[in-house]
Chain A
Amino acid sequence: MIDGLFSNLALGFSVAGSWDNLLFCFIGAMLGTLIGVLPGIGPLATVAMLLPITFSLPPEGALIMLAGIFYGAQYGGSTTSILINVPGESSSVVTALDGHAMAKQGRAGSALAIAAIGSFFAGCVSTVAIALFGPPLASVAQKFGAAEYFSLMLFGLVGAVVLASGSVIKAVAMIVLGLLLGLVGLDVTSGHGRFTFGIPELSDGIGFVTVALGLFGIAEIMTNLERAHREGRDEIAPVHSLMPTRQDMWESWPAILRGTAVGTFLGILPGGGAVLASFSSYALEKKIARDPSRFGKGAIEGVAGPESANNAAAQASFIPLLTLGIPSNAVMALMIGAMMIQGITPGPQVMVKQPGLFWGMIASMWIGNLMLVIINLPLVGMWIRLLRVPYEMMFPAIIIFCAIGIYSLNNSTTDVLFTAGFGVIGYLFVKLGFEAAPLLLGFVLGPLMEENLRRAMVISRGDPMTFIDRPISFGLLLASLAMLALVIAPNVRRKREEAFQE
């Protein structure tokens, strides 16, 4: 197995190491940081915005670039939250707590460097984890039938609900709405148009990018404008030296190790991912610290742990995506969408049929992380200058790039109109207290779940007991039930609320 690991990784590095792919990885990491560093724009919005530019690339290049964009965006988000205390998304909220406190004390450089080093270390470990766990998981998944797949997807959705940070029942609502939206278009089996309202563009279904860009890109800009209006501009902390002091390093490395472990584990879980990982790691660091009162006032462990954890989790969440074809969070749902647009059906067969693509992507994750450390730290001055550009001048540019991107997908102005519509819907969701991320998950899984449900019912001649008779399926359903029972149980519920409040 170890031999296989090395030959697989060697194949991966030969793919990812080609000049073209190195360039795509580099461009992705740069663009991702560039957009991700903008205040209020998280990785999800960044990936959604930049998705269209990858479509003209070959599949390997496109996915490598997207992975680069994703890491870059995450890194950019941490930079912003350390320097100006405006976290782009929930996984950097935690970083802002101590990171920005450090920046105020003039230790911004140290915080940035530790965040980068921690992320890189976590990236190395979780790359190996993917290479180790990927193949066995994929071989299990290859034995899956329709019933198992249906139960697995249900398990994934339940996980997303349980681990979502907001209200449980509202997350359920968003998933169901997403599942429904995913069904729009011609029904493959019968040829009936569903919810198409006679609009020809809808017969292929609602464009995945349209939904993502509207709900996350456009709606995000709207809420940012509103917030900027209310709160005014923030100070940017100065960056002096990028070298962490010896003491900072000494205090950080155990936190980096713990964060990596926490993140890798939580990233694999359905619904897990960067947000949960960084919150958990912060809570852990605070709990085991000798002097918990330092936290929130510039404790370096409060940066090192969560930053490592969120990168480890981000990377580990590729494991269920690449081996089972199941996205564990909304960013992975975007990746699935991108794969499908490239004509790749995500699932265990990718590793077997397109080993170059699979291992190339894994190798490129490591390369992308390395690039971020080498390139971004020296470029921090450039990102700061970018942060000084007033948002009023920045957002029209973002709008236009989004619009061009969405138009160029199908050369269709209808898509642009739909995106604007989903922008308004996204804003409505914010006002009604709905989190849109679970919707995207449902949207991607909707058609797949329906197909597998139908197939399972045909195979079992309409007997729903098939989900219980088949042991793997039964196990997954039991696990889903257990997770649900856990959140509904009152004391766990209280704990969960506490965890998200910290």
Chain B
Amino acid sequence: MIRLRNPQDLAAGIFLIVVAVLALVFSTNLPIGKLVSMGPGYVPRTLSWVLGGVGVLIAGRAFTIDGPRLDSWALRPLAALTASILVFAFLLERAGLVIAIIITVAVARVAAPGMTLRQVIGVGVVLAAGSALLFVTLLGLPLRIWPEFPG
């Protein structure tokens, strides 16, 4: 009877195998060359095979050695945190540093509730002012502070 003893390792192994297969697929058009004059595909393809092999070993081990179960994902912080960075990237060049920071703080709050609305605004304003002073005035980074108004 085969019994799954280590779900975490099985998932890890499958992840590696998937990455290895993708890497092999996306390197098919790269010339491999010979040992004496290696093409651009030689090392990537070799590494992909090794990665896949390691993945198979880890997945196989999941049936022989006991190990941890799959941990649950804290989707809320994950999604909110990622979203806050994306929002920042989207707003920085369009709306300027100040607006981008305040909205980023507001989105980040979703990841770990705890701040009141007033605190969100407070933290946002302090961070915006501080960053503008530190990064733009003192360090001279070419960041836009305010949105550009037409006219």
**A residues whose Cβ falls under 8 Å from a Cβ of B:** 53, 56, 169-170, 172-173, 176-177, 179-180, 183, 187, 189-190, 192, 194-195, 197, 218, 221-222, 225-226, 228-229, 390-393, 395-397, 399-401, 403-404, 407-408, 411, 413, 416-417, 419-420, 423-424, 427-428, 431-434, 450, 453-454, 457-458, 461-462, 464
Tell whether, in the assembled complex, residue B43 and residue A395 are in contact, meaning their CB atoms are under 8 Å apart: no
Number of A-B residue pairs, CB cutoff 8 Å, is 180
B96 close to chain A: CB less than 8 A: no
26 residue pairs from A and B, CB less than 8 Å apart: A56-B139, A169-B58, A180-B51, A189-B40, A190-B40, A194-B27, A195-B27, A195-B44, A222-B81, A229-B77, A392-B113, A393-B114, A396-B84, A396-B123, A399-B108, A400-B104, A408-B135, A408-B143, A416-B85, A419-B85, A432-B12, A433-B8, A433-B67, A434-B12, A453-B38, A453-B43
Residues of A within 8 A of B8 (CB): 431-433
Tell whether, in the assembled complex, residue A222 and residue B77 are in contact, meaning their CB atoms are under 8 Å apart: yes
Candidates A417, A423, A433, A434; contact of B68 at CB < 8 Å: A433
B25 to chain A, nearest CB (A): 11
Residues of B within 8 A of A423 (CB): 81-82, 85
Candidates A403, A431, A454; contact of B85 at CB < 8 Å: A403
Candidates B58, B88, B119; contact of A400 at CB < 8 Å: B88
Residues of A within 8 A of B97 (CB): 404
Assuming the A-B contacts A396-B123, A458-B36, are A169 and B77 also in contact, with contact meaning beta carbons closer than 8 angstroms in the complex? Answer: no
Assuming the A-B contacts A177-B19, A424-B82, A454-B38, are A431 and B143 also in contact, with contact meaning beta carbons closer than 8 angstroms in the complex? Answer: no
B109 to chain A, nearest CB (A): 7
Tell whether, in the assembled complex, residue B139 and residue A397 are in contact, meaning their CB atoms are under 8 Å apart: no
Assuming the A-B contacts A400-B88, A413-B93, are A228 and B30 also in contact, with contact meaning beta carbons closer than 8 angstroms in the complex? Answer: no
- In Å, the complex CA distance between A419 and B86 comes to 10
Assuming the A-B contacts A411-B142, A458-B36, are A432 and B77 also in contact, with contact meaning beta carbons closer than 8 angstroms in the complex? Answer: no
Tell whether, in the assembled complex, residue A408 and residue B141 are in contact, meaning their CB atoms are under 8 Å apart: yes
Residues of A within 8 A of B51 (CB): 173, 176-177, 180
Residues of B within 8 A of A453 (CB): 38, 43
Tell whether, in the assembled complex, residue B81 and residue A225 are in contact, meaning their CB atoms are under 8 Å apart: yes
Residues of A within 8 A of B92 (CB): 403, 407, 413, 416
Tell whether, in the assembled complex, residue B104 and residue A225 are in contact, meaning their CB atoms are under 8 Å apart: no
- In Å, the complex CA distance between A486 and B40 comes to 35
Tell whether, in the assembled complex, residue A403 and residue B89 are in contact, meaning their CB atoms are under 8 Å apart: yes
Tell whether, in the assembled complex, residue A177 and residue B135 are in contact, meaning their CB atoms are under 8 Å apart: no
- In Å, the complex CA distance between A403 and B103 comes to 14
Residues of B within 8 A of A190 (CB): 31, 39-40
Candidates B30, B34, B104; contact of A399 at CB < 8 Å: B104
Residues of B within 8 A of A56 (CB): 139-140
**B residues whose Cβ falls under 8 Å from a Cβ of A:** 8-9, 11-12, 15-16, 19, 23, 26-27, 30-31, 34-41, 43-44, 47-48, 50-51, 54-55, 57-58, 61, 67-68, 70-71, 73-74, 77-78, 81-82, 84-86, 88-90, 92-93, 97, 101, 104-105, 108-109, 111-115, 119, 123-124, 127, 131, 135, 139-143
Residues of A within 8 A of B27 (CB): 194-195
Residues of B within 8 A of A221 (CB): 81
Secondary structure call for the A interface: helix
Residues of B within 8 A of A420 (CB): 82, 85-86, 89
- In Å, the complex CA distance between A155 and B114 comes to 48
Tell whether, in the assembled complex, residue A391 and residue B112 are in contact, meaning their CB atoms are under 8 Å apart: yes
Assuming the A-B contacts A393-B119, A396-B84, are A229 and B74 also in contact, with contact meaning beta carbons closer than 8 angstroms in the complex? Answer: yes
- In Å, the complex CA distance between A190 and B27 comes to 14
Closest to A430 in B: B71
Assuming the A-B contacts A169-B54, A408-B141, are A457 and B38 also in contact, with contact meaning beta carbons closer than 8 angstroms in the complex? Answer: yes
Candidates A179, A226, A404; contact of B74 at CB < 8 Å: A226
- In Å, the complex CA distance between A397 and B88 comes to 12
Residues of B within 8 A of A399 (CB): 81, 84-85, 88, 104, 108
Tell whether, in the assembled complex, residue A180 and residue B35 are in contact, meaning their CB atoms are under 8 Å apart: no
B84 to chain A, nearest CB (A): 6
Candidates B9, B43, B86, B131; contact of A183 at CB < 8 Å: B43
- In Å, the complex CA distance between A453 and B33 comes to 14
Given contacts A169-B58, A194-B30, A197-B26, 8 further A-B contacts (CB under 8 A): A56-B140, A173-B58, A222-B81, A393-B119, A395-B111, A413-B89, A413-B92, A433-B8
A425 to chain B, nearest CB (A): 10
